[in-house]
């Protein structure tokens, strides 16, 4: 375990503990002063942080259920196919995962461009309208949600295909003999036996979407129109790496995000883990 434990301690556990400690200090170039819970009190009154929390939660609600539903549907359609067809679709849907979020965000930047984008070209051709997808408060967040959904399907599809292959075929045969059609067999046999896979997908996707950052940074200007797409992690980045470089305040935001993620994970385990 040592080769895995050393990088984990150096690059994950130590920065996590150090960031937690930073949140209790006022860190400046010349001096560092212990201020206790002042950063957390300021966060409680910070309206922009509340907006970031709300936007992030909306993002999770928009993305995670859709990723679960679409990936499960695709896996259910691909699973009955032959081995060669399954391999092709696994590869095809997993390509966005290995392509990298920055590359995919740049592609979507071209698609969603309000003047020369492919999507507006189709809208102009079919409907005669031109929409500023990333510049309007009512379309910016859903547009970013579509971008994240498009590259988040690969891993859940692989997980569900593996889980489907682990379901004994005798259960479906028994249900068919009892008169259950394909939909009833899926609802009463397949879906309950995918509970563990669904738990894994829900937890991992929720943790990932709560930390969404790249699309906000690359596809919007300063967190979108009227901060409509400003998320917690983007707010942390902006707080820490733009003047006046409040690393301690950003660390407090990160600590609260950790607490929020832990609470959500506990709820999901209690809901799906039974």
pLDDT tens for 150-195 read 989 999 999 999 999 999 989 989 999 999 888 899 999 999 999 9
Structural domain contains residue 7 = no
Structural domain contains residue 8 = no
CB 167 within 8 A of CB 160: no
pLDDT band at residue 198, thresholds of 50, 70 and 90? very high
- The Cβ of residue 182 has, within 10 Å, a number of other Cβ atoms equal to 12
Structural domain contains residue 20 = no
234 or 82, greater pLDDT: 234
Range of the domain at 140: 41-272
Structure token digits, residue 199: 């738990």
What is d(CA 215, CA 63) in angstroms, rounded to the nearest whole number?
A: 13
| The pLDDT of residue 37 | 87
Structural domain contains residue 24 = no
Structure token digits, residue 71: 């990936």
Structural domain contains residue 17 = no
CB 97 within 8 A of CB 81: no
Structural domain contains residue 36 = no
Structural domain contains residue 222 = yes
pLDDT of 229 above 90:
no
What is d(CA 137, CA 139) in angstroms, rounded to the nearest whole number?
A: 6
Q: What pairs with residue 25 in β-bridges? A: 34
DSSP state of 51: H
Peptide bond into 38 cis (omega under 30): no
Element (H, E) at 222: none
What is d(CA 239, CA 133) in angstroms, rounded to the nearest whole number?
A: 26
Mean pLDDT of 234-258: 90
What is d(CA 238, CA 249) in angstroms, rounded to the nearest whole number?
A: 11
SS3 (DSSP) at 113: coil
Residues 61-92: tens digit of each pLDDT: 999 999 999 999 999 999 988 888 889 999 99
pLDDT of 30 above 70:
no
How many domains does the chain divide into? 1
pLDDT of 31 above 80:
no
Structural domain contains residue 175 = yes
pLDDT band at residue 274, thresholds of 50, 70 and 90? low
Q: Among residues of the chain, what percentage have pLDDT more than 90? A: 48
Q: Among residues of the chain, what percentage have pLDDT more than 70? A: 99
CATH number at residue 143: 1.10.3720.10
End-to-end CA separation in angstroms for the chain: 30
| The pLDDT of residue 222 | 80
pLDDT band at residue 4, thresholds of 50, 70 and 90? very high
| The pLDDT of residue 272 | 75
CB 141 within 8 A of CB 55: yes
Cα-based distances in Å from 3 to 6, 10, 43, 81: 6, 12, 38, 40
Phi, psi (deg, nearest 5) at residue 109: -60, -40
pLDDT band at residue 29, thresholds of 50, 70 and 90? low
| The pLDDT of residue 138 | 87
| The pLDDT of residue 64 | 94
């Amino acid at each position: 375990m040592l080769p895995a434990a050393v990088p984990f301690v150096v690059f994950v556990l130590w920065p996590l503990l150090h960031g937690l400690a930073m949140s209790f200090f006022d860190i400046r170039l010349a001096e560092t002063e212990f201020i206790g819970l002042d950063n957390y009190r300021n966060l409680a009154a910070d309206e922009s942080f509340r907006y970031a929390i709300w936007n992030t939660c909306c993002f999770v609600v928009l993305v995670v259920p859709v990723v679960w539903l679409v990936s499960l549907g695709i896996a259910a359609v691909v699973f009955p196919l032959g081995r060669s067809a399954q391999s092709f679709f696994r590869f095809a849907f997993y390509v966005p995962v290995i392509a990298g979020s920055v590359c995919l965000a740049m592609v979507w930047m071209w698609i969603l461009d309000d003047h020369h984008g492919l999507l507006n070209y189709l809208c102009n051709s079919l409907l005669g309208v031109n929409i500023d997808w990333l510049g309007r408060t009512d379309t910016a967040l859903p547009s970013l949600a579509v971008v994240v959904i498009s590259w988040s399907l690969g891993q859940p599809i692989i997980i569900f295909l593996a889980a489907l292959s682990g379901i004994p075929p005798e259960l479906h045969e028994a249900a068919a003999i009892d008169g259950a059609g394909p939909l009833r067999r899926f609802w009463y046999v397949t879906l309950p036996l995918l509970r563990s896979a669904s738990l894994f997908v829900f937890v991992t996707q929720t943790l990932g979407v709560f930390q969404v950052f790249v699309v906000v940074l690359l596809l919007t200007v300063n967190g979108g129109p009227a901060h409509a797409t400003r998320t917690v992690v983007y707010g942390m980045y902006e707080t820490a790496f733009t003047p006046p470089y409040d690393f301690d305040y950003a660390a407090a935001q990160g600590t609260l995000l950790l607490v929020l993620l832990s609470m959500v994970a506990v709820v999901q385990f209690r809901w799906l883990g039974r």
